[in-house]
Structure 1
Amino acid sequence: MASPLPKWIMQRYSILWNTFHDKEFDHDAAFNLLNNEKTVSIAISKLRKNGWLEIKLDENDARRRLYKLKSPEQAVKEIGEKNE
């Protein structure tokens, strides 16, 4: 269930969503897209904890995590359902 995001996390979500949409990506791709920001790991963690990001292990390398963003529509819908 998604919950509202702080502004700085929402800005990073927006950048990630505009590039990946509902495609899977890894930490390196996010790191490169966000201009090598040191806060990428924190942003990914906050997105996961707030329900805006799903994580699964790579089938070929169990050490590698793959991320997939929820659509903005789905996240907002979940926030609305949570507040009913």
Structure 2
Amino acid sequence: MSTMNISLPDALKSFVDEQVSQRGYGTSSEYVRELIRKDQDRLQLRNLLLTGAASNPAQPADTSYFASLRDRVRKAAKPASKA
């Protein structure tokens, strides 16, 4: 694992220390890692949404679509018959 040193104004350091204490993190590093992971997740979701928005329109998800989907799930869930 690599290390990274950051400088924070006193007010931000106090905020981080408070979050570590109140949220049960062991260290400020754990808190910062969690913030970074959440930001990565947010960016990944944003990219997926933008990709979806830029894609060609799909067929409408109407009642027949969901009926077909339920049938496919039921068929996939059935155990294979023994010969």
TM-score relative to the length of structure 2: 0.29
Structure having greater relative contact order (Cα 8 Å, sep ≥ 6): 1
The structure that has the greater radius of gyration is: 2
Greater helix share, structure number: 2
TM-score relative to the length of structure 1: 0.29
Greater strand share, structure number: 1
